[in-house]
Structure 1
Amino acid sequence: MTEVTTQLISAEHLMLAKMQNMQLKVQPEFSVTANPLDQQVNAAAQQTPMSFSGAMRQVLDVVNEQQSVASAKMTAVETGQSDDLVGAMIASQKASLSFSALMQVRNKVVGSFEDVMKMPV
């Protein structure tokens, strides 16, 4: 009985070792790259001290830049200068998503400001 138990335990250890080796081969090093939008905002932020209005201005500039790029790509596709329809659509969706997120932040800020103004003094 003990010999069978020993064989089972060593078989389990062998299987565990094989599974760990396979896991190491399958999973590459996990690395997170920085968001390009964060890099643009951070580069501008390092030049001047950050204030709320400065942060909003930088975000507005990034969103405006995305909309300009999307508009230029869509115009190029429409006029036949480019055949990159997928790139134009992706740029358009990025610009739309950025604008939507900006509007949500604006609405939250306006709502918070209104709440502060309603507070009794």
Structure 2
Amino acid sequence: MSVSAIQSSLAQTAMDSLLNQDAVRLQNDAQALMGGASHNPDGMGFEQLLRRVDDKDQAASARMEAVERGESDDLVGAMLASQEASLSFSMLMQVRNKVVGAVDELIKLQL
């Protein structure tokens, strides 16, 4: 096996490890936010969720812009931040769809 193949394999392993760590952290964040939303009667949990998703998107955009301007050479970190923001937004959309579905079911109920 050549040196470049070994380096490529190590880089892929490191990237997989980082992605797994990020996935676990995102899952823990989602569980914490959803737990906070159920204990908070005035709905601040959902507002916090929205703010976190927006913060992740802004941070990812800032990191990508820094790489584009040449101020940072952390392309992998910027790409991971971008993927994390994308996953956060997808999770937010799934939560929204569940809420809309529940409201639709409530509207269909006959009293």
TM-score, normalized by the shorter chain, greater than 0.5: yes
Match of 2:4 in 1: none
Match of 1:60 among 50, 71, 82: 50
Match of 2:66 in 1: 76
Quote the sequence identity (%).
Answer: 49
Match of 1:103 in 2: 93
Gap runs ≥5 in structure 1? 1-33
Structure having the higher helix fraction is 2
1:70-110: per-residue Cα shift (whole Å, max 9, x none)?
A: 00000001111111000000000000000001100100100
Q: Letter of the aligned partner of 1:120 in structure 2?
A: Q
Rounded Cα–Cα distance in structure 2 between residues aligned with 1:89 and 1:51: 37
Cα deviation for residue 52 of structure 1 reads: 5.9
1:3-49: per-residue Cα shift (whole Å, max 9, x none)?
A: xxxxxxxxxxxxxxxxxxxxxxxxxxxxxxx94864xx67xx6xxx7
Partner SS for 2:72 = coil
Rounded Cα–Cα distance in structure 2 between residues aligned with 1:70 and 1:57: 20
| Greater than 6 Å deviation, 4+ residue runs | none
Instruction: Kindly report the root-mean-square deviation, in angstroms, between the aligned alpha carbons of the 2 structures.
Output: 2.3
Match of 1:90 in 2: 80
Rounded Cα–Cα distance in structure 2 between residues aligned with 1:110 and 1:81: 43
1:46-68: per-residue Cα shift (whole Å, max 9, x none)?
A: xxx71362110011111111101
Structure 1 residues 107 and 52: alpha-carbon distance in aligned structure 2, compared to 1, 3 A threshold: farther
Q: Letter of the aligned partner of 1:86 in structure 2?
A: V
Partner SS for 2:43 = helix
Match of 2:105 in 1: 115
Cα deviation for residue 113 of structure 1 reads: 0.4
Aligned residues: 82
Rounded Cα–Cα distance in structure 2 between residues aligned with 1:103 and 1:78: 29
Rounded Cα–Cα distance in structure 1 between residues aligned with 2:98 and 2:108: 15
Structure 1 residues 105 and 52: alpha-carbon distance in aligned structure 2, compared to 1, 3 A threshold: farther
Indicate the structure (1 or 2) with the bigger Cα radius of gyration. Answer: 1
Q: Letter of the aligned partner of 1:109 in structure 2?
A: V
Rounded Cα–Cα distance in structure 2 between residues aligned with 1:61 and 1:115: 28
